[in-house]
């Protein structure tokens, strides 16, 4: 075997190993309800094997047409969040959640100072003027975080043996997360999880009751 052929074979094997490891450490999570219908907006997270450095730019939770946008924002602890008000009316943003308590008085525009989220957990966000305005900030603890798309699918690198699922209607306790075991499969790297969510009216009633426990609680699965 010539030297150039040896180098080529070595390069091919090295790339195969790299791609195999990358494949083995990533998975596609598909979340459906009890009727097999996809659920979008489910937070999927897994512990990271390295320190997640908060980005320099704050995350954004806007206020548009008297709604928080996005409805669920995902960040890691140590990150700042801006709350611009794109409406033509003033809002009074606040939270009484254990993971973060803060208040931004009546304001419009983009002049409000960013808020630092130092603790992990789920933070309920409300408006003291418009009770129908509700949003959530999922604050991870050094986690890789994504959300399912309209097809109920999320793809992420699973660094350990498990991943967590969270949704505002997963439990009356908004800090509740479902823990799922990651099962590697070399021929099919998709894992389907069935979630049973609370009816929307029950969830809406509960989320207007601020001040409850919002630190993470986990079920085993």
Q: b vs e for 68-103, b when ≥16 Cβ sit within 10 Å of the residue's Cβ?
A: bebebbbbbbbbbbebbbebeeebbbbbbbbbbebe
- Lowest-pLDDT range, 36-45, 57-66, 158-167? 158-167
Instruction: Spell out the domain ranges in the chain.
Output: 26-219
Name the helix (H) or strand (E) containing 64.
Answer: strand 62-64
Answer yes or no: are the C-beta atoms of 139 and 99 closer than 8 Å: yes
Answer yes or no: are the C-beta atoms of 105 and 98 closer than 8 Å: no
Residue 204 has pLDDT above 60, yes or no: no
Name the helix (H) or strand (E) containing 52.
Answer: none
What is the C-alpha separation between 29 and 18, in angstroms, rounded?
A: 22
Strand, coil or helix: 173: coil
Give the pLDDT score at 59: 98
What is the C-alpha separation between 45 and 42, in angstroms, rounded?
A: 10
Tell me the average pLDDT across 132-159.
95
Q: b vs e for 181-195, b when ≥16 Cβ sit within 10 Å of the residue's Cβ?
A: ebeeeeeeeebebeb
Confidence category of residue 25, pLDDT binned at 50, 70, 90: low
Range 26-219: architecture per CATH: Sandwich (2.60)
Give the pLDDT score at 2: 53
Tell me the average pLDDT across 159-166.
89
Backbone angles phi, psi at 191, to 5 degrees: -120, 125
Answer yes or no: are the C-beta atoms of 152 and 30 closer than 8 Å: yes
Beta-carbon-side half-sphere exposure of residue 17 (alpha carbons within 13 Å): 6
Helix and strand element counts for the chain (H, E): 2, 18
Answer yes or no: are the C-beta atoms of 48 and 144 closer than 8 Å: yes
Residue 131 has pLDDT above 50, yes or no: yes
Cis peptide preceding 116, ω within 30 of 0: no
Strand, coil or helix: 33: coil
Q: What is the mean pLDDT of the chain?
A: 83
DSSP-H helix ranges across 70-130: none
pLDDT digits (tens, 9 = 90+) for 87-103: 999 999 999 999 999 99
What tokens does 50 get? 């390295």
pLDDT digits (tens, 9 = 90+) for 59-76: 999 999 999 999 999 999
What tokens does 3 get? 């030297």
């Amino acid at each position: 075997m010539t030297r150039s052929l040896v180098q080529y074979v070595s390069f091919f094997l090295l790339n195969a190993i790299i791609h195999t490891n990358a494949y083995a450490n990533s998975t596609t999570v598909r979340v459906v309800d009890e009727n097999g219908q996809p659920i979008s907006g489910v937070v999927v997270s897994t512990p990271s094997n390295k320190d997640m450095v908060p980005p320099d730019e704050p995350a954004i939770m806007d206020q548009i047409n008297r709604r928080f946008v996005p409805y669920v924002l995902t960040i890691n602890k140590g990150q700042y969040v801006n709350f611009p008000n794109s409406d033509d009316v003033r809002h009074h943003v606040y939270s009484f959640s254990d993971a973060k308590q803060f208040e931004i008085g009546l304001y419009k525009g983009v002049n409000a100072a960013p808020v630092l989220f130092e603790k992990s957990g789920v933070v309920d966000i409300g408006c003291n003027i418009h009770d129908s305005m509700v949003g959530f900030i999922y604050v991870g603890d050094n986690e890789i975080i994504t959300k399912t798309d309209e097809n109920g699918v999320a793809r992420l690198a699973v660094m350990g043996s498990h991943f967590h699922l969270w949704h505002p209607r997963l439990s009356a306790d908004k800090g509740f997360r479902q823990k799922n075991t990651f099962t590697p499969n070399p021929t099919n790297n998709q894992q389907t999880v069935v979630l049973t969510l609370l009816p929307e009216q029950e969830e809406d009633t509960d989320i207007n009751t601020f001040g409850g426990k919002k630190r993470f609680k986990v079920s085993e699965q």
